[in-house]
Amino acid sequence: MAYTQKNNPFPVTSCGRRRSFMTTDNPIKMYSDSPMQMRKTTKGKGRTFRTIEEGAGMTSKGVSDYRKENPGSKLKTAVTTPPSKLDPNSKKAKRRKSFCARSKNWTSERGRAARKRWNC
């Protein structure tokens, strides 16, 4: 007979795992604090995202708003410096290289614009 844990506050999924984000009273938000789920505005004074023509991605105001709502977040704006002007061992160059590797399959219009802005 399998061991069953008693008095665990988190529900069991169909595969037998316990998922903390499945409760409504849980203070930990697992998937709901994505930057893309913020109010996405590309027009007006308080906009949080750039338009496709500007290279897509979040504005500095959007990043600061996100970080205010999610303390401890390390979200940053894009590295727009051309790779030829970056020291190859700098943190910015490594961050840019990592982003370009992660986003190489982005084929949507916004994805292509963001990659262009990052000089990928």
- What average pLDDT does the segment 75-95 reach? 94
81 located within any domain: yes
With tokens 């205010």, the residue in question is: 68
Nearest in space to 56 (alpha carbons), one of 120, 112, 119: 112
Residue ranges making up the domain that contains 73: 42-117
Residues 6+ positions from 102 with CB-CB distance below 8 Å: none
| Per-residue confidence band for 100, with pLDDT thresholds at 50, 70 and 90 | very high
* Res. 19: pLDDT tops 90: no
20 located within any domain: no
21 located within any domain: no
Number of structural domains the chain divides into: 1
pLDDT digits (tens, 9 = 90+) for 24-33: 554 445 445 5
Q: Residue 104: its pLDDT value, please?
A: 94
Residue 12, phi then psi, degrees to nearest 5: -95, 135
7 located within any domain: no
- What average pLDDT does the segment 86-113 reach? 94
70 located within any domain: yes
> What share of the chain in percent tops pLDDT 70?
81
What would the 3-class secondary structure string for 50-89 be? CCCCCCCCECHHHHHHHHHHCCCCCCCCCCCCCHHHCCCC
pLDDT digits (tens, 9 = 90+) for 3-14: 777 777 777 777
pLDDT digits (tens, 9 = 90+) for 46-76: 888 888 898 888 899 999 988 988 888 899 9
Contact 10, 19 (CB under 8 A): yes
The dihedral sign for the CA sequence 104, 110, 112, 114: negative
* Res. 34: pLDDT tops 80: no
78 located within any domain: yes
6 located within any domain: no
